Each structure stands twice: as C-alpha cells, then as structure tokens.
Amino acid sequence: MTPENAIRSLDQLKIELPSWGFADTGTRFGKFFQTGSAINTADKFADAGIVNKFTGCCPTVAVHVLWDFVAGEDPKATAEIAAKNGVKIGSINPNLFQDQAYKLGSFGNPDAEVREQAVRHGIECSKIGEAVGSNLISYWFADGTNYPGQDSIRARKRRFENCLKSCYDELAEDQVMLIEYKPFEPAFYQTDVADWGMSYALCKKLGAQAKVLVDTGHHYTSQNIEQIVAWLLDEEMLGGFHFNDRRYADDDLTLGSIDPYQIFRIFNEIHAYAAETGSYPEIAYMIDQSHNLKPKIEAMIQTVTTAQELWAKAALVDREALGVAQRSGNIVDAETILKSAYNSDVSPLLAKWREEKGLDADPMEAYRKSGYLQQIEADRTRRRKELGITQDSSYA
Amino acid sequence: MTPENAIRSLDQLKIELPSWGFADTGTRFGKFFQTGSAINTADKFADAGIVNKFTGCCPTVAVHVLWDFVAGEDPKATAEIAAKNGVKIGSINPNLFQDQAYKLGSFGNPDAEVREQAVRHGIECSKIGEAVGSNLISYWFADGTNYPGQDSIRARKRRFENCLKSCYDELAEDQVMLIEYKPFEPAFYQTDVADWGMSYALCKKLGAQAKVLVDTGHHYTSQNIEQIVAWLLDEEMLGGFHFNDRRYADDDLTLGSIDPYQIFRIFNEIHAYAAETGSYPEIAYMIDQSHNLKPKIEAMIQTVTTAQELWAKAALVDREALGVAQRSGNIVDAETILKSAYNSDVSPLLAKWREEKGLDADPMEAYRKSGYLQQIEADRTRRRKELGITQDSSYA
Amino acid sequence: MTPENAIRSLDQLKIELPSWGFADTGTRFGKFFQTGSAINTADKFADAGIVNKFTGCCPTVAVHVLWDFVAGEDPKATAEIAAKNGVKIGSINPNLFQDQAYKLGSFGNPDAEVREQAVRHGIECSKIGEAVGSNLISYWFADGTNYPGQDSIRARKRRFENCLKSCYDELAEDQVMLIEYKPFEPAFYQTDVADWGMSYALCKKLGAQAKVLVDTGHHYTSQNIEQIVAWLLDEEMLGGFHFNDRRYADDDLTLGSIDPYQIFRIFNEIHAYAAETGSYPEIAYMIDQSHNLKPKIEAMIQTVTTAQELWAKAALVDREALGVAQRSGNIVDAETILKSAYNSDVSPLLAKWREEKGLDADPMEAYRKSGYLQQIEADRTRRRKELGITQDSSYA
Amino acid sequence: MTPENAIRSLDQLKIELPSWGFADTGTRFGKFFQTGSAINTADKFADAGIVNKFTGCCPTVAVHVLWDFVAGEDPKATAEIAAKNGVKIGSINPNLFQDQAYKLGSFGNPDAEVREQAVRHGIECSKIGEAVGSNLISYWFADGTNYPGQDSIRARKRRFENCLKSCYDELAEDQVMLIEYKPFEPAFYQTDVADWGMSYALCKKLGAQAKVLVDTGHHYTSQNIEQIVAWLLDEEMLGGFHFNDRRYADDDLTLGSIDPYQIFRIFNEIHAYAAETGSYPEIAYMIDQSHNLKPKIEAMIQTVTTAQELWAKAALVDREALGVAQRSGNIVDAETILKSAYNSDVSPLLAKWREEKGLDADPMEAYRKSGYLQQIEADRTRRRKELGITQDSSYA
C-alpha cells in the first residue's frame, strides 16, 4: 500500500474509549488512587472528550450500564452528557458479575431466578441501547466455576444458550450482540465462555446479529491471536476488539506495550482482508485496559496513538510482493516484507493525517500542555472533599 | 453408580492400540533403541495382540497407511495379519507430513499439485478403510507455518475446507472422518487446525460424518479439556480420543502419568453424559503415545490399565448426590463427592471384571511372566542382524 | 514406610492457618460476602481455633501486621487472643503493598524515603515477632514494574539487597526471615523477586537466617515444583510453604483441588529427604488461600485434611523398592511404586491418628454438627448491623 | 546514545555461528532436506565463512565435538579448515545426549560408568579447546527424567555437582565453562538443569570460571528474560547467549522473528550495564537455531542482521532521559523513551557501519547475488550422488 493510502486507511480506525477507564481501578491487592481520576459519569465523558479532542479518532464511549445510567431515569441523560463532550455513546456493557446474586454465575447460574434477573438486565441494556442510539450490546461473562464438580458444565452451557436466546430475541433489528470470551479470572476452574470456539458456537446458534468479540488479552499463552482474527474474518463472525496487552494473564496493560509486533500482525490480517474484499470489515475497535499506575488520560492517549502507529505500519505491507513470496514458498522474503513494513517510521504519515484533521502532531504533548489535568485535579480534589471521599486505601 | 454398574461400564471402554507405538520412536535429539521393538507390521500386530490378550479390552489397532500397507498390494493382507493376532484394524491414519512435497503443508499447501497429492492420499485411505472393514479415518495435519507472513492464514483455511470436502465426499456411508487439532509442533508460528474450535468449524461445514478428535496432549497449557469434551458431547461432535499425558508440550507420555485427576474428570463427563442420556456415546478411545524410554509393550499395558482405573473411579461418582450439591451451590460437598470417587480403591472392581473375562488380575505381571519379551528380543535381534539394521544412533 | 510409621509421620505436619483467610476476600471484580466471615482479629482467631479443634494439627496462626495488631498498642494483646483460642501466633507477615506510598514498590521503590518506611516496617515486624514469641518473619513483595522501561531492574535488585540486609541485621538470633517469590501479579511486566532463583540468591547473600518460601501457586505454568523443593532441601534453603492450588495464575484455590498428584509428589520429596537424613527438615507449612466462594472455615478444614491425606499417601511410598527400581532404570516399576502409594486408601490411617488424638474421624462433619457456623452467623450479622457494615457490593 | 556511538557499539557485537546450523535438521516428524545443506565439516565452515564475509561480524564458529572432529586425529585439522575460510573455532560443544549409553542421562545417570564416560568426554572437550585455542566449553544437558519416580532428583543433582567439578578441575586457566539451562525437551517430567537458578547455583559452587549460558528460547512461557539477564549481569555470572526465537516451546526459530521487542529489551540491559560500568561485559553471542524450512545460509544472515538492528536500536536509548523518568516514576515517558529507540529506523546506521568495514549495505542481497548457493547446490548434489546419500525421507 502506498503511504497515501496508508494515511487514508487511518480514517477506518475509530477507537472507542471505555467510560470505566477514567475511574480508579486496581488489582485484588488494592488500588493506587489518582487525584485526577473521574468521580462520576460526567467526569468520564469529559475525560473521554479530551482524548478524542487531541487524537481525533475516538468518537464514541463505551458505557457500563450499572455505573453510567441512573436506574429509573431516562438513559438519554447520559447521551446528553456525551454530546456535550463531543462524543457519542458506543457499546452498551451489561454488568452481570457485581450483584451478590451472581456468586454462582449469571446466565449459567443453577438458580432460575438469578438467570431471569440476568436476562432482564440484558434486555434492559438493549432497550437502553435503542434509547440512546447505540447498536452494540457487548456481553462479557464472569461466569464459571472455581472447583471441579461445582456444577454441570453441560447444564451451564444449555443455560447460556437459553438466556442468550432470550436476550437475542429482544434485540432491535439493527442491534448487534457481541459475545466476549476469556479463559479464566474470576473463574479459576472453568469459565463458561472460555475461548473463541465457544463464543463462535454460541453466536452461530443465535443468528446473524451475534458476533464474536476478541479481547487481545483474553487468550491462552502462546495462542495465535491473528489466526483467530483471520478465521473470524473469513467466517464473517468478527464483531469487535477490546484493546489491551498482556504478558502473563489478563493484565490489561496499554496496547502494544508488551508485544507490539503481535498487534501489528492482527492489524495486518484486517488490511489483508480489506485488500482482498475491497472494503474494511465492520468491526468495533474498543479499548479495555486498566491502568492502575499510568495516569488515566495519558494511558488512553498512548493506546490510541500506538494503535494508529501499528495500524499504519500494517497498512504499508506490500501485499503484491507478499503474495508472490507466499505462493513461491519464499519464507525469508515473505517475513522480510512484513518486517519491513513493521520497521517503517510512520511518524510522518501520522503527522500528515493529524494535520489534515487540524490536530496537533503530538497528541500527548498537546494534552499535557493544555492544562486539563491540573484543572481536573484541583476540581476533583475539591469535590472529593465535599463528598467525603477518601483515597487512602482500598483494601479492607 | 454402584460398584456393579461401574464394573459393567468397563465393557464400554474399548481401547485402540497404535501400530506405530510398538516401533522405535524418539525426539528430535535422537532415539534410544529397544531390542524388542517392532521391525515390521507383523511385529506390531503381534505385540498389539499380546497387549489385548492380557488386558482384554484392546480389540482394534490403528494403522498408519504409509507404514502398515504395501503400496499396490491388497490392503486385506494387513487385515489378515491382524486377524491372526486376534485383533482387527481400527482407525486408518493418513500420513500427510512425511513426504518431502509437504514441506509447506498438505491440504494447506500453496501449491495445488501438492494439495491434490494429499487429497488423493486421503481418498485412498478411505478406500483402504472400506477394503479392510474400518469405518474411521483419522486425520492429523502437521500443516502450518513457521514464520509470520509465510502464507495467508485465510487462504490456507479455504484450501483446507476444499480439500477436506473432496475427501469427505468420497467417504462410504458408514465412514466417519475424525479431525484432530493441535496447537503447535511441527509448525511453530501458526498451525492450520490449532484448536477444537477450528476442528469443530471445519466439521460443521462437512456434515454429519465429520467429528472432532481430542488428543489429551494437544491443548494450550491450563486449557480445561473436560470442558471441551463436555461441549463436544453436548454438540454431538466428539468422535474420539487420543490418549496420552503431558506436562509441557505434546510430550506423548503414558496416560495419567502426570495429571491423573484430569483424565478422571474427562471420563467423569462421559459417564455423566451417559447417565443423563441413557447410553454411552460412540467414541473411539485410541492410544497415541511415544515411549522412548519405557519398554513399549509395558508402556501400552500401563496406559490401558490406568485408563481402566480412572474410568472405573469416574463411574463411581454419586451422580444423584452430586446433582443435589450442584443445584444448591454446595461447592465443598460437590468437590468432595468427586474426590471421594477419585480416591476409591478400584482394584477389587478391576480384578472382578478381569476374572469374569478369564484374565489375570494383574495384566502387567502376567505379561512379564509370559516370556514374550525375551522371545521377541531374541527373534528381533537375530532378524535385525540378518537385515543389516543397526540400533546405534539415529542422529545424523 | 509401614502404615504405622505413616501415621507417626502425621505428627510432623503442623499446618499454620492464615488469619486473613477467615475474612471476606475476592477478586478485582468484587467480593462475594459471607455472613459468617470474620469482622476483626478476635473473630479470626476464634475461627482458627475451631479449625484447630477439629483437625488437631493447626497450632499456629499467621498474622498480618497491619490487620492483626493495633498500632501503638502492645502486640501481646493479639497473642492473648490467640491463647484464648488454643492457638499461638505463627509467622509475622509484613504488609508492604497496601500503603499508597508503595505505588512504585517498597524495597524496590526508586524513592529512598519510601524504602526507609518499608524497612522500618520490616524491622518493626521482627520486633513484634520477638514480643509475641514468633520466630518467623515471612516476606512477600508485590514489588515490580508494569511496563518495560519503568525502572532499572538492576537498581531495584540492589535496593532489595540493601533493604533486606537492613531488616536481616535486626533479626533476633532465633528468628528466620522467609523470602517468598512470585512470577507476577500485581506487577505485570517484571516482579522483583520472581522465581526461586532470585529468592535463593538474595537469601544466600543475607546469611543462615534467610530461607526460601515456596508458595505452591507461585510458579510458571508447567514448572516442576517438586524439583525446586528437592533442590532447596538439598541446599538446606527451604524455609516454608504456602499451601494452595492453581490452574491458571495465582488462583489461590484450596490445596490439591486441581492437581492433587503434584502435592503428593512435593510431600514425597520431603519424606524421601527425611528417610535419607534420618529426620524431617524444619519447614513451616502454612496455608495461604483465598476462598471467595467456599465457606471460609470449611475451605480451611478441607485444605488441612487434604494435606494430611496426601502427606500420608506420600509417607507410604516403598522407598527401598523405589531405590532399586531407580538404580536399575526400571521406569515403569518406579512410577508404579509411586502411584501405588498415591492410590492407597489412607482414610483408616487418618482415622486412627485422629482417634489417638481424641479427634472425630471426620473433622468436616464434626465441625458442621457443632453449630459453630450458625452461632457466628447470628453473632456477626448482629455486630455488622451495629457497626453499620454492609455486605452489598465491594465494587466501586 | 548518539547515532555515532551506536555505530561504534556494533563493534562489540561479534556473533558466533553454529557449525551444525548449516546441515539438515528437523523435528521428530522428519526433516525437509535442502540441496545446499552441508555434508561435512568443511562444508559447514565454508558456509560460515560466507556468512562472515557478507556480514562482517561472525569471526568464530561453534563446533560440536562428535560431529566436527575425527576421533583420534589432531583437532587442529578442524582449526585449519576454519582458518582457510577466514574464521576461527569458537565454543566447544560436548555431546552428552546422542550415545545410547545416555538413555537415562549423562552427568545425572544412575550408572557410575556412564557418568565417567560423560566426564571423560567433557574433559576431552576442554583439551580440544586448548589444542585449537578456544577458551569456551559450552555445556548443554539433555539430562532429566520422563516420569515421576523415575529417579531421585536430589541424587541427580549431586551427581551433576560431582561430574561438573571433575570437568571444571581440568579446565585450563583461561577457559570458561558455560552451563546452559532448559525447562524441558527431551526430558518431559523433570530436567536436571531446568532454569537459570539451577545453572547459577551449580556455577557458584564450581568457581569463577563457570558462567551461565542464556538461550533465548529456553524459558517458561511468560518468563521475563531481560530480568534474568539483568540479574546475571549484576552478579557477573552471564557467560553467553544462544540466539533464537520461540512462540511455544524450544522452537529454535530465527532471532526476533516472533517477538523482536523482547530481544531489544535484552540488548537494552547490556547497553545499560555498559553505560553504567564504562565497558561492555564479556559475553559470547552465539546463534543456536534450527531452520528446517528457511534456506540455511539465508536464515543465518537474517538472524545476524536482525541482531545488529535490534542491538543498534537498543544502543540509541536516551539513558539520561530514561533515568530521569524512572527516578520520578514517570512510567509513560520511560516507556516512550524505550519505544522511541525501538521504533527508530537504524538502516542508515547499519549501512554506515558496513561501509566502514567495506561490506555491502545489504548482506542478504549481496549473498544472493554472489552465486554461492548455486555453486554449493551443484557441488553437493554431485557429491551426495557419489557418496550414495539420499534426501528422500528421514522418518522411519
């Protein structure tokens, strides 16, 4: 692909920010608090708006239903907050893990009443989606078991099939249900939707509005993610991504911080698919990271710009030459063609794209100079004091 | 289940022996030769017959087409050798990795001529199966790539779909095509049929005669095998097993030598399925192990008797009590019920089952006392000398 | 070993209970609360006392300095609570991860002031140990970095060496410093004391009072724990264990719930060492598990009795026969000797040992019948109400 | 570091080529032969000489004693072959895994006679080293066990300590013994020297002439290699590297083909150490890869030039700015400084360095244009015919 086309391909990469990514988060060993972290939904959208302002490619924000909507109130209130900050509501994320009722699972729970509660919540989420103009309902399940024997794996599978169907049947025509998979955590023996094959099998039974969601950190160690992406693309079953990076488990680090070449190879599959079919697939690119230590807004900007860099590099792969090398079994050249694109300095391309959009060539620097952090630190410190919120220790 | 029923359930566990498991095998660092190892197909069937004679549950032998049939000759010759040793030919295993043509793959090869060669071999295997009365064709593919960029993952997937279909279409009505998956080795970057999801997706496209083959050693580390088995059972897509054990990669150790509790849990899923549906599923239980260090026949007997022990233990699980514990969320009791069956001493049960069959209560001891090993060691040493075969070093 | 000797060997297995294991704990996705969970230190010791009462082998309780002692007060107050419940204070566990100052580490922190704070805490812990008559200070470090480049790995190593020395130098003569290792979590790029080799190297520099602590859940997947135990025994550097089980990461499940054979093999190394040297090594056997779902006291009893079972099985290994098989390279027999002990039904042995101690043969059943749980549930529910503690949701 | 200094640092990176890397190798499933592969030691040195000619940084060749020396003849014959091809003999590699005697191990074997055979070979290797002017003896052990119980882990450890000492005591004053570790393969239950900690502990007992050898492919998945390198540097115990890359197990792929950022981070530790201490540590940089599919000489050139690229990138890290960011806990900036060097286009630097050495700017292209491959393919095909060597199938 020519540099000019690579620049154009950047228009395809719209990255959704997670509202929960601006609040304090941590590990089971506690949280390290940040003075500038978001206190409420308005703060989250304000911060997301800032990331979008400086990067120019984050027009939507994923919302967590329990945290970003007030029960009993019109969900459009949240949409208005979004609009005020120059963004829109993106994927709707049900919460099926937090309520004490979900101790033994949500859709997989042995208790029919709990399953009904979970299904009601799922349906409510799609109604909220309709109300706020979002067509993505993004399901992640903490469901599973911690000990051998704890529950019947097949019974849980069938409960999932039934509950998902109940939710699927209530989708609006243009809504898409994304089903995420994850090998483990918080379930430590068996997770009900543990790998792409389980997510795929469930989606196939539901129908054309169900698609697989690939979280880049939710794989067995060594598993080839780009192959899963390639298969799902070929099956027209890839609905979206959750962006983050990992070294050990579901570490939720910023994208490309541990293995940038892998992210490049994933993006390469998407560009290759587009080159072959003539258009980019409809995929939701969403960030889902937890940055306990990095400043939240900076961590978000870093992931966004890293994604753009790796996307642009992958766009530069010489597909014609690659095809020739592949067909003739020239492994060394095929790999070199990939590496050559990967090693390209794409900063001029990104600068040009940003210039076209009226953006600063260095979003991080521009953000830092803007004084936004100083302003929210002062504001939120003051409000925390008023609200009586301490940031001393999260461990009890 | 009552001990009596557990004994009866042992009749369900017919274990297929691999002909190649009686010949010298090794690692890439070389082979350690055994004086008593099989030289030819007749030896392999003789050894398999002995294992069946002392264990009473190994009526069939898996064959490798390239090694156990003489090209151009009537395959029934091999069936006759089998019959002479009191066993039958079981699954037919194509060899799609040994020919130099397969350097870049068989069904996934970029070269159409190589793919055609591979498909011809696959079809030939089903014809051999028909000729010798075997209804299982068991496909394992070494296909994949070693380096990023080496080939198009999606193109390879589509080549696989096409080649598999060509073979599937030539199956006899009662034949079943088993498709095995494996995460890596000998392909080190990407394996074309890498996990159960890929095998499942391919089988679904082929039709009802295609089923997934689960090799107990072919999973990502930490992956929950019993869950995959449970899902495949529920989907009626589980065609068979390859038995072995592992600690690191595809170590091909004898069954249950590393993690016996896992094998117990796998068998538990099968008994649970049978308890619920009223009958045991049609599954081919096949050994596929490589015992470079253990004496070959002993290693085979050890796996067979270990499988029987773990099968019998899993049969003893008190399913009614387990169901009660599961439905009430009593995790401690549910686990204890499983563990209690696992910790049971099943040697009296196995002794009784063997007595009924007119077998010695200790197959290993009976084999050792039989003098068979001494006899084949003398015979094969003499024949090796005559044939000019040395067992000095396999490394060049 | 004879069954009689195996029974006697059970006297060697004193298991320390963790005070924190009786309070509510969870994952980063939240906690599922238990009505009977401990509210304060007195509750924890009461519960520990109950576990000791029914199992008869848990005479000590590990304490977490921040949670089990009141700053500024005489630590003997806690020792008195212990005594009242028929147990003693065991290992003293510093807390070097909870304070907001430790965001970038404790002993590895780039800021000298934070390191001094951490060292002061370490020294204070050994003083508390002296005061309450405990000779074990058990160090676990959450220290590490989350991103490449975040800090100098070598600088952090040297800071650790210095801080550890400052603490070591203040140990009383009979005190032992245990240094635990852990590959990851909560640090996701690099952990300062990541494996046994790092712990070993640090201990060697400190002196004879520093020993390695092996947490059975703190290893890379596939790593051979019994080999590490064997090496540390041979080096006289094994100070203690933290008992739990895992399938994926540091899952903190109850002991032997996932891979009981591995625990058996670890215990086998200890019995083998004792058989060879004539006496059991001085090792602290401590539980460190997190049972979000299982009832806390039951989970503790389950781990204790499972440890006793696997310990007794490992004691039964016929060491003479094993030695013969090993020296002659008879792998099948050597493995069978191990498996034969593992498959033994040790419940009569355990019953006999318990009878001798005046204990019920089934500690779990005896505990359940005691009515203790009902009593603390009522009591603690009432006290929570009085204290205004809710158990609705831990996620914010 | 300035670009000029980065160029100068390339002079530090002398990469040793493995003689065995030019011959046909494969996996346990067979070899795919190459027409141009080396038939004998002279071929291997000729090919190594060519790699050195075009890359200018490979002055030495590692030799495998069993394969590159004729028993009973003066080892200087091999040194002369080397000299003729413009290279020298580098590390001497004993072979302690191929002989049938080593079925149960070499230094760890239960049979004292086998251990003596192994020790004699080790000592012979150091004598050969003295004779040919090589001061590195590089030990890799296939030793271990395949099944629990097979042998006493502690007995094996002590046998290792004794055998190593016997060899160490015979080293010439300037010779260094490198001890490599590897988690598994070909041993599948327990490997005698399994991790850096074991190698380190053994070396420490031997003395100052024993150092740890880090093979970049010999680690548990997720293990942080750069941390191990940093620790060994700080302990002055890092003797050398074996270069290759991996995704799953010991895949022996070409360097940086799977995770180039990790290699960069390893090199970064070396540059950081040099920056701090004022000089580069004495480390042997050696290639050990198996390229079954890539043309052998090309694969070697690719690894060499990739190593140079990643070395140059790592040299460019702005250490002063990095130190500032690290000390102030600015994680985002610290990471960005690393990434900025990693993303630099170093081809101009490499071109300049090559120009200074009178080399072609593109070693791969220069090699391809040289016609060397065509020449050896013709020559070796002819000689194979004369010698009666076929390249049909390696699998029996």
**Contact residues, chain D, for A343 at CB < 8 Å:** 309, 345
Count how many domains chain C has: 1
pLDDT above 90 covers a percentage of chain C that reads 94
A137: in domain: yes
Pick the residue of B304, B343, B365 with the most C CBs within 10 A to test the interface with C by mutation: B343
Which residue would you say has higher pLDDT here, C2 or B116? B116
pLDDT digits (tens, 9 = 90+) for B129-157: 999 999 999 999 999 999 999 999 999 99
ipTM score of complex: 0.97
Alpha-carbon span C270 to C13, nearest angstrom: 11
pLDDT at D345: 95
Pick the residue of D114, D218, D224, D269 with the most C CBs within 10 A to test the interface with C by mutation: D224
Distance from CA of D251 to the nearest CA of A (A): 12
User: How far is CA A287 from its chain centroid?
Assistant: 4
**Contact residues, chain A, for C396 at CB < 8 Å:** 24
A61: in domain: yes
Mean pLDDT of D14-36: 94
| The pLDDT of residue D302 is above 50 | yes
Q: Do D188 and B393 touch (CB under 8 A)?
A: no
**Are the CB atoms for D191 and D150 separated by under 8 Å?**
no
pLDDT digits (tens, 9 = 90+) for D234-292: 999 999 999 999 999 999 999 999 999 999 999 999 999 999 999 999 999 999 998 78
Q: What is the dihedral of CA A42, A45, A47, A48, to 10 degrees?
A: 170
B224: in domain: yes
**What backbone torsions phi and psi does residue D385 show, to the nearest 5 degrees?**
-60, -45
What long-range pairs does B273-281 form, CB within 8 A, spacing at least 24? B273/A154, B273/B230, B273/B233, B274/B9, B274/B12, B275/B1, B275/B319, B276/A154, B280/B9, B280/B12, B281/B233, B281/B236, B281/B238
Distance from CA of A32 to the nearest CA of B (A): 30
Q: Do D153 and C198 touch (CB under 8 A)?
A: no
Alpha-carbon span A338 to A322, nearest angstrom: 8
**Contact residues, chain D, for B103 at CB < 8 Å:** 32, 293
CA-nearest of C100, D132, D22, C234 to A293 is C100
Going by DSSP bridges, is the β-strand pair D238-243/D190-191 parallel, antiparallel, or unpaired?
A: unpaired
**Contact residues, chain A, for B335 at CB < 8 Å:** 147-150
CB atoms within 10 A of CB A208: 10
H/E/C letters for each residue in chain A? CCHHHHHHHHHHCCEEEEHHHHCCCEECCEECCCCCCCCCHHHHHHHHHHHHHHHCCCCEEEEEHHHHCCCCCCCHHHHHHHHHCCCEEEEEECCCCCCHHHHHCCCCCCCHHHHHHHHHHHHHHHHHHHHHCCCEEEECCCCEECCCCCCCHHHHHHHHHHHHHHHHCCCCCCCEEEEECCCCCCCCCEECCCCHHHHHHHHHHHCCCEEEEEECCCCCCCCCHHHHHHHHHHCCCEEEEEECECCCCCCCECCCCCCHHHHHHHHHHHHHHHHHHCCCCCCEEEECCCCCCCCHHHHHHHHHHHHHHHHHHHHCCCHHHHHHHHHCCCHHHHHHHHHHHHCCCCHHHHHHHHHHCCCCCCHHHHHHHHCHHHHHHHHHHHHHHHHCCCCCCCCC
Q: How confident is the model at residue C251 (pLDDT cuts 50, 70, 90)?
A: very high
Q: How confident is the model at residue A396 (pLDDT cuts 50, 70, 90)?
A: very low
pLDDT above 70 covers a percentage of chain A that reads 99
Whole-number average pLDDT of chain D: 96
Which residues make Cβ contacts (< 8 Å) with residue B33, sequence separation at least 6? B24, B391, B394, D100
Residues of D with CB under 8 A from a CB of A: 221-222, 224, 247-248, 257-262, 293-295, 298-299, 302, 309, 331-332, 335-336, 339, 343-345, 364
pLDDT at D394: 56
Alpha-carbon span B238 to B274, nearest angstrom: 14
Quick one: closest CA in C to D198, which residue? C197
**Contact residues, chain A, for D344 at CB < 8 Å:** 345
pLDDT digits (tens, 9 = 90+) for C349-375: 999 999 999 999 999 999 999 999 999
DSSP class of D345:
-
Alpha-carbon span B138 to B91, nearest angstrom: 6
Distance from CA of D199 to the nearest CA of A (A): 24
CB atoms within 10 A of CB D91: 27
Distance from CA of C326 to the nearest CA of A (A): 34
Does the CA dihedral D205-D206-D211-D212 come out positive or negative?
negative
Distance from CA of B94 to the nearest CA of A (A): 24
pLDDT digits (tens, 9 = 90+) for C29-64: 999 999 999 999 999 999 999 999 999 999 999 999
pLDDT digits (tens, 9 = 90+) for B294-312: 999 999 999 999 999 999 9
- Hey, is D131 helix, strand or coil? helix
DSSP class of B260:
H
Closest CB to D197 among C149, C151, C197: C197
| The pLDDT of residue B395 is above 60 | no
pLDDT digits (tens, 9 = 90+) for A136-178: 999 999 999 999 999 999 999 999 999 999 999 999 999 999 9
**Contact residues, chain B, for A103 at CB < 8 Å:** 329
Partners of chain A (3+ Cβ pairs below 8 A): B, C, D
CATH at B94: 3.20.20.150
Which residues make Cβ contacts (< 8 Å) with residue A234, sequence separation at least 6? A273, B154, B157, B158
Q: Do C257 and B344 touch (CB under 8 A)?
A: no
Alpha-carbon span C2 to B396, nearest angstrom: 50
Quick one: closest CA in B to A232, which residue? B154
Q: How confident is the model at residue C394 (pLDDT cuts 50, 70, 90)?
A: low
Alpha-carbon span A71 to A73, nearest angstrom: 6
C25: in domain: yes
Q: Do A249 and C32 touch (CB under 8 A)?
A: no
D2: in domain: no
pLDDT at C396: 43
pLDDT digits (tens, 9 = 90+) for B216-271: 999 999 999 999 999 999 999 999 999 999 999 999 999 999 999 999 999 999 99
Closest CB to A230 among B153, B191, B337: B153
pLDDT at B290: 87
pLDDT at C290: 87
pLDDT above 70 covers a percentage of chain D that reads 99
Pick the residue of A227, A231, A250, A269 with the most B CBs within 10 A to test the interface with B by mutation: A227
- The DSSP-derived string for B60-125 is EEEEEHHHHS-TTS-THHHHHHHHHTT-EEEEEE---SSSGGGGG-STT-SSHHHHHHHHHHHHHH
**Contact residues, chain D, for C329 at CB < 8 Å:** 103-104, 110-111
Q: How much of chain B is helix, strand and coil, in % rounded to 5?
A: 50, 15, 40
User: How far is CA B134 from its chain centroid?
Assistant: 15
pLDDT digits (tens, 9 = 90+) for D69-121: 988 889 999 999 999 999 999 999 999 999 999 999 999 999 999 999 999 99
Q: How confident is the model at residue A275 (pLDDT cuts 50, 70, 90)?
A: very high
D354: in domain: no
pLDDT at C1: 75
Pick the residue of C252, C293, C393 with the most A CBs within 10 A to test the interface with A by mutation: C293
* Per-residue buried b or exposed e for A115-137, using 16+ beta carbons within 10 Å of the residue's own CB: bebbbebbbbbbebbbbbebbbb
Task: Count how many residues are written for chain C.
Answer: 396
C347: in domain: no
B78: in domain: yes
pLDDT at B291: 73
CA-nearest of D288, D309, D382 to D351 is D309
CB atoms within 10 A of CB D359: 18
**Are the CB atoms for C257 and B335 separated by under 8 Å?**
yes
- The DSSP-derived string for C101-143 is GGGG-STT-SSHHHHHHHHHHHHHHHHHHHHHT--EEEE----
Alpha-carbon span D239 to D211, nearest angstrom: 5
pLDDT above 90 covers a percentage of chain B that reads 94
Closest CB to C147 among A104, A257, A391: A257
Q: How confident is the model at residue A392 (pLDDT cuts 50, 70, 90)?
A: confident
pLDDT at B394: 56
Does the CA dihedral A129-A133-A136-A138 come out positive or negative?
negative
Q: Which domain holds residue A79?
A: 13-314+360-384
CA-nearest of A61, A134, A39, A33 to A287 is A61
Q: Do D149 and C337 touch (CB under 8 A)?
A: yes
